[in-house]
Amino acid sequence: MADPTKSKIDQHSGTPTMGHEWDGIEELDTPLPRWWLWTFYACILFSLGYVIAYPAWPLVNSYTKGMLGWSSRGDLARDMAAQAAKVAPIHRAIAATPIDQLPANAALMQAAVDGGRAAFKVHCVQCHGSGAAGSKGYPNLNDDDWLWGGDLVTIEKTIIDGVRNPDHAETRMSIMPAFGRDQLLQAAQVDDLVAHVRTISGQQKPDAASRRGGQLFADNCAVCHGPAGKGNRELGAPNLTDGIWLYGGDAESIHQTVWNSRQGVMPRWGDKLDPATVRMLAAYVHSLGGGEAAPVPVPVPVPTVAAAVDNGAAEATSDARQ
């Protein structure tokens, strides 16, 4: 504040000084322009109006709501509703389009992939990871190795029915026996089998153990994994000759797998998510880089050994349920 006892008129400008002085430098007491004052009053008026119109004062358990009834949560709800209304026709279109016809509509496919990416973050990342890269026991969905098949229709079915849901007849079901634990094989035989599996996957050279294991494989494993160990997608039997191991390809992990068996479970999503979301998830997973083209349909299904094997698997399933 000005010190009136020391204030004086500045000679050059004719303006009074504040009365302060620092090393001969004095401060002028220049009046503010009046319009500035009116601007200030206008701001005060505006803030009064704002306090009346919008939420402003915190109370103990609540707050003043404001005449306009605006709230940031209401805003968010409106935004969400608007977004839902915006995507509703897209979701309807996706739900109405069989998934194998989705790629024909590039825009709809892209919408499905984008929607699937969002849904994946909510429902799938807990097991498959945020980048869908999986981890031990949870498949990497980016790669080109599929237990049940990597085309759109198959992926969608896997998502709808899940894997090893005992209360669901349509579920993906494959049960590998626990060869060691259930004493189907001797400990030494399991070691030989492991040697054989590591040989056919190119991880070690054939030796006496792996040759013994080869015979054991033909007797015990080939029925599902195929004579060459290439797997069988009908049964969800993994390919044992490729570079991808769900539970690890080192000797110890394979030994564990053969001894105890592995039976990962995926929930069935068909009863939890709407068809459009499932379809979008399938499109997204397919888009990650490992998606396969739809298999050329076989005109006439010929009864083969595979069918017999299928029946065997069904029996194994019913056994497992007891």
Partner 1 sequence: MTAAPLSLYAKRKGVYPKAIDGFYRRLKWVVMAVTLAIYWITPWLRWDRGPYAPDQAVLVDLAHRRFYMFAIEIWPHEFYYVAGLLVMAGVGLFLVTSAVGRAWCGYACPQTVWTDLYQHVERFIDGDRNAQIRLDKAPWSAGKIARRVAKWSIWLFIAFGTGGAWIFYFADAPTLQQQFWSGTAAPVAYATVAVLTATTFILGGFMREQVCIYMCPWPRIQTAMLDEKSLVVTYKYWRGEQRGSLKKSLAQPDAFGDCIDCDQCVAVCPTGIDIREGPQIGCITCALCVDACDKVMAQVGRPRGLIDYCTEDDATAEKAGRAPRPVIRSLLHVRTLVYLTLWSAVGVAMLFALGTRTRIDISAQQDRNPIAMRLSDGTVRNAFTVKLRNMESRPRPMRISAEGLAGVSLWTDRDGRADARAAIDTIVPSDSVAKLRIFLAAPANGPQREDFAFTVRATDREGGTASEPAHFERLQ
Closest distance between partner 1 and the C-beta of residue 22, in Å? 19
Member of 154, 158, 171, 239 binding partner 1 (CB under 8 A): 239
Closest distance between partner 1 and the C-beta of residue 21, in Å? 14
Residues of span 241-260 touching partner 1 by CB under 8 A? 242-244
Q: Quick one: 141 or 190, whose CB is closer to partner 1? A: 141
Cα separation values, 307 from 223, 232, 294, 311, 318, Å:
11, 12, 21, 6, 17
Residues of span 24-43 touching partner 1 by CB under 8 A? 29, 31-37
Q: Which of 45, 247, 40, 217 is CA-nearest to residue 134?
A: 247
**8 Å CB contact between 306 and 232:** yes
101-104 contact pairs (CB < 8 A, 24+): 102/152, 102/279, 102/283, 103/152
In which element (H, E) is residue 26 found?
strand 25-28
- Rounded CA-CA distance 217/210 in Å is 10
Closest distance between partner 1 and the C-beta of residue 245, in Å? 9
Q: Count residues contacting partner 1 (CB under 8 A)?
A: 35
- Amino acid in position 171: T
Q: Quick one: 21 or 170, whose CB is closer to partner 1? A: 21
Q: Quick one: 5 or 126, whose CB is closer to partner 1? A: 5
- Rounded CA-CA distance 315/163 in Å is 17
DSSP 126: H
Cα separation values, 125 from 117, 240, 302, Å:
10, 26, 40
Residues of span 269-288 touching partner 1 by CB under 8 A? 287
Q: Quick one: 88 or 125, whose CB is closer to partner 1? A: 125
Closest distance between partner 1 and the C-beta of residue 308, in Å? 27
**Contact letters (x/-) for partner 1, 118-147, by CB under 8 A?**
-----------xxx-x------x-xxxx--
Interface with partner 1, residue 296, by CB under 8 A:
no
Q: Quick one: 27 or 271, whose CB is closer to partner 1? A: 27
Residue ranges in contact with partner 1 by CB under 8 A:
4-5, 7-9, 12, 16-17, 29, 31-37, 129-131, 133, 140, 142-145, 202, 239, 242-244, 287, 289, 291-293
